[in-house]
Chain A
Amino acid sequence: MNRYKNVFDNVKKRGEAAFIPFAVAGDPGPDAFVDVVAAYVKGGADVLEIGYPFSDPIADGPVNQRAAQRAIKAGFDHSAFFSAIKKIRAFTDIPIGLLAYANTISHLGNDDFCKKAAKAGVDSLLVADMPPEESGELMKSMRKHGLGRVFIVSEFTPDERMRDICRNVDSFVYVVSRPGITGIDTTLSASVKTTLARLKKVTDKPLAVGFGISTPEHVSEVVKAGADGVIVGSALVNEIEKAAVRGVDPAAVLRKKARSLKAATSFAQIHFGL
């Protein structure tokens, strides 16, 4: 949690928003995944968002689902996950957010999962198919083991619920840019601005926007609309897939892409076109 506070404070001081690249753990393979994350870090990631691969990811689009399938096929499991996170922790101290599905956690048991995740170096947990109503027991375990809480809000979330969710969140609020699932979009939804404005009225916690954000232009727009962080997933995972298909190392491409996305989070770049 402190890791988050420091990062969001620092990027703000520098006149930037946090750049939060996403990858599915174990994709394209257990070690190659750690290399992917290293490329993100070298490319300027402020926070990492790591998806735990699940066979039936109902909140994800085809790109992230294929990534999960590659990981599962490569034999990725709980112990591989925790050891990958430990390897990442050996070279970076930036916050690691975990995005998982409920079954992954219940399979191991709430307490055991949270304990192992926190010990490996995960900072926060967002469960894609577990709204606050269903999270009571899990949140107890998260508190006990010091895992930060992240929940999603969308343009459909009513005001009162927004307030409740923001109260429950202690790391950042995950704002989805539009209804639907993760994926690559060509244009950014116009509703982001309204949703962010509504959120700012009820909370001062960091707001990170995700879903469909694919280009530096999207990143600039979201930052201009008032986001404290920008999550880019499918557009990067797509590069991992392309490289995996060709059998080449995606690191160079990811580093380059990450750099251009990170650069777009700077207010100076937005205001003066630098």
Chain B
Amino acid sequence: MSTKTKKGRFGRFGGMFAPETLMPALWEAEEAYERFRGDAHWQTEYQRLLETYNGRPTSLYEAVNLGMRLTGGRARIFLKREDLNHTGAHKITNALGQALLARFMGKERLIAETGAGQHGVATATAAALLGMSCDIFMGTVDMERQKPNVFRMNLLGANVVPVDSGGKTLKDAVNEALRDWTKTVKNTHYAFGSVLGPHPFPFIVRDFQSIIGKECRAQIKKAAGRLPDEVVACVGGGSNAIGIFSAFIKDKNVKLTGVEAGGKGLRGNKHAVRLTPSPYAKPGVLHGSYSYVLQDKSGQIADTHSVSAGLDYSGIGPEHAHLFESGRAAYTYATDTEAVAAFKMLCEAEGIIPALESSHAVAYVIKQAPKLADGSIIVVNLSGRGDKDIDSVAKFLGESI
């Protein structure tokens, strides 16, 4: 959009599309993050927490049963076990980093948005650990859908702020968190949960999550003696995908594949697919950055649908938009039905209950299996565990718990 400055850009995407009242807070976060990155004391503390509290490094596990079942052993499938992180997903790694950054800046209060509650729980956890006050913004529709997570956040000492505006889901929670922040920047840090929002957040969150890729690159070399042929991750906002992709972007022979939420399919608007062409997907501005955004024919942000709350969002991280347009990463989608089938298959084949988000990435591998070359190696980022999803899956299958 602007050619005047390339600050905070991934190709033509990203930027700082923020109200003037927020600009000083964004500069402050940008400047503080640069210092935080270079500060040995704080970096040591972050590493210590990652190892002793977060549970890093997470393991890389070869899903032999799944590989046999899908390819008869022709191809090897590895799972990056982000489901083994404290609080059950990769989100905690970013939340701990952001909470430390907030403390580094001298802020006493953390705010965050949450959809399914995963990032909310992670932020509430980090706030409890570091003795900060914490407000989590959550749509009232999501609060109703995710009652256990609301209770978890309360147990962790966070205040869950019900958001009753708009569609009352994740998008509205981000709106409300941004509005709060414009009033409270002096003592408050907004811990964005994904590679979204105005600069510097897509960069900060990517940096914190890039540890997934760094670990994985070393682990796969050790386990298989070479780099993988393909790395697959689900993409909501896109932080787990950027996290694992980041270490392989320069390896042109490693195919990078992002899997979006196909919901009920691309006919109609019951999906959250931003990077496969459809009448709804168009570059635009949502929540501070220029990226692909699902919108209606009048330019209003469209509602989305996915069986997985964590992928149910109209925008996508600007770096993904750039990786898509530059052709470095490929993007596809899995429907609700395919994701639930993958969820079940992983439970049965490997004894791992994956998050519904991550199940989309597994679903892609299931579809792709017949086409995999002999001896090929594919890594799936298993971004979270699925205990939180058993109600949704039971409901989807028409079963009662």
- Where the two chains meet, the residues of A that have a C-beta atom closer than 8 Å to any C-beta of B are 54-59, 61-62, 65-66, 69, 72, 76-78, 101-104, 106-108, 110, 128-131, 133-138, 151-154, 156-158, 176, 179-181
Residues in chain B near residue A151, CB distance under 8 A? 20
Q: Which of B17, B179, B185 is the one whose CB lies under 8 Å from A129?
A: B17
Cβ of B15 to closest chain A Cβ, rounded Å: 5
Residues in chain A near residue B21, CB distance under 8 A? 59, 152, 154, 156, 176, 179-180
B326 within 8 A of A: no
Query: By the criterion CB–CB under 8 Å, are A108 and B182 in contact?
Result: no
Query: By the criterion CB–CB under 8 Å, are B24 and A134 in contact?
Result: no
Q: Bits for B260-291, please: 1 = Cβ < 8 Å to A, else 0.
A: 00000000000000000000001111111010
Residues in chain B near residue A102, CB distance under 8 A? 1, 17, 284-285, 290
Query: By the criterion CB–CB under 8 Å, are B300 and A55 in contact?
Result: yes
- Where the two chains meet, the residues of B that have a C-beta atom closer than 8 Å to any C-beta of A are 1-5, 7, 15-21, 23-24, 165-166, 171-172, 175, 178-179, 182-183, 185, 282-288, 290, 293, 295, 297-301
Q: Which of A65, A107, A130 is the one whose CB lies under 8 Å from B284?
A: A107
Cβ of A58 to closest chain B Cβ, rounded Å: 5
Query: By the criterion CB–CB under 8 Å, are B293 and A103 in contact?
Result: yes
Residues in chain A near residue B285, CB distance under 8 A? 101-103, 106, 129-130
How far, in whole Å, are A151 and B171 apart by their CA atoms in the complex? 26
Query: By the criterion CB–CB under 8 Å, are A133 and B182 in contact?
Result: no
Q: List 9 A-B contacts (CB under 8 A).
A: A59-B179, A77-B297, A101-B285, A103-B293, A103-B301, A104-B299, A137-B1, A153-B20, A158-B24
Return the 9 tightest CB-CB contacts between A and B, nearest first. A107-B299, A136-B4, A102-B285, A77-B298, A180-B183, A152-B20, A55-B300, A59-B19, A136-B2
Cβ of A177 to closest chain B Cβ, rounded Å: 11
How far, in whole Å, are A129 and B172 apart by their CA atoms in the complex? 16
Cβ of A14 to closest chain B Cβ, rounded Å: 31
Q: Which of B15, B23, B287, B299 is the one whose CB lies under 8 Å from A78?
A: B299
Query: By the criterion CB–CB under 8 Å, are A128 and B19 in contact?
Result: yes
Q: Which of A56, A103, A106, A176 is the one whose CB lies under 8 Å from B175?
A: A56
Q: Which of A72, A76, A104 has the most chain B CB within a 10 Å cutoff?
A: A104
Query: By the criterion CB–CB under 8 Å, are A137 and B3 in contact?
Result: yes
> Closest residue to B299 on the A side, CB-wise?
A107
Query: By the criterion CB–CB under 8 Å, are A131 and B179 in contact?
Result: no
Query: By the criterion CB–CB under 8 Å, are B2 and A180 in contact?
Result: no
How far, in whole Å, are A103 and B285 apart by their CA atoms in the complex? 5
Q: Which of B20, B165, B179, B297 has the most chain A CB within a 10 Å cutoff?
A: B20
> Closest residue to B198 on the A side, CB-wise?
A129
Cβ of B237 to closest chain A Cβ, rounded Å: 15
How far, in whole Å, are A107 and B288 apart by their CA atoms in the complex? 15
Residues in chain A near residue B2, CB distance under 8 A? 133-138
Q: Which of A55, A61, A137, A157 is the one whose CB lies under 8 Å from B301?
A: A55
How far, in whole Å, are A59 and B2 apart by their CA atoms in the complex? 21
Query: By the criterion CB–CB under 8 Å, are A179 and B175 in contact?
Result: no
Residues in chain A near residue B297, CB distance under 8 A? 77
Residues in chain B near residue A107, CB distance under 8 A? 282, 284, 295, 298-299
How far, in whole Å, are A154 and B185 apart by their CA atoms in the complex? 13
How far, in whole Å, are A111 and B385 apart by their CA atoms in the complex? 47
Query: By the criterion CB–CB under 8 Å, are A56 and B183 in contact?
Result: no
Q: Take A65-B166, A154-B21, A157-B20 as given contacts and tell me if A179 and B182 are in contact as well, using a CB distance cutoff of 8 Å.
A: yes
How far, in whole Å, are A56 and B18 apart by their CA atoms in the complex? 13
> Closest residue to A76 on the B side, CB-wise?
B298
Q: Take A58-B19, A103-B286, A107-B299 as given contacts and tell me if A133 and B1 are in contact as well, using a CB distance cutoff of 8 Å.
A: no
Cβ of B20 to closest chain A Cβ, rounded Å: 4
Cβ of B199 to closest chain A Cβ, rounded Å: 10
Cβ of B212 to closest chain A Cβ, rounded Å: 30
Q: Which of B24, B172, B288 is the one whose CB lies under 8 Å from A156?
A: B24
> Closest residue to A211 on the B side, CB-wise?
B21
How far, in whole Å, are A181 and B177 apart by their CA atoms in the complex? 12
> Closest residue to B172 on the A side, CB-wise?
A56
Residues in chain B near residue A54, CB distance under 8 A? 300
Query: By the criterion CB–CB under 8 Å, are A180 and B179 in contact?
Result: yes
Q: Take A106-B285, A129-B17, A176-B21 as given contacts and tell me if A136 and B3 are in contact as well, using a CB distance cutoff of 8 Å.
A: yes
Residues in chain B near residue A106, CB distance under 8 A? 1, 283-285, 290, 299
Query: By the criterion CB–CB under 8 Å, are B179 and A78 in contact?
Result: no
Q: Which of A57, A103, A130 has the most chain B CB within a 10 Å cutoff?
A: A103
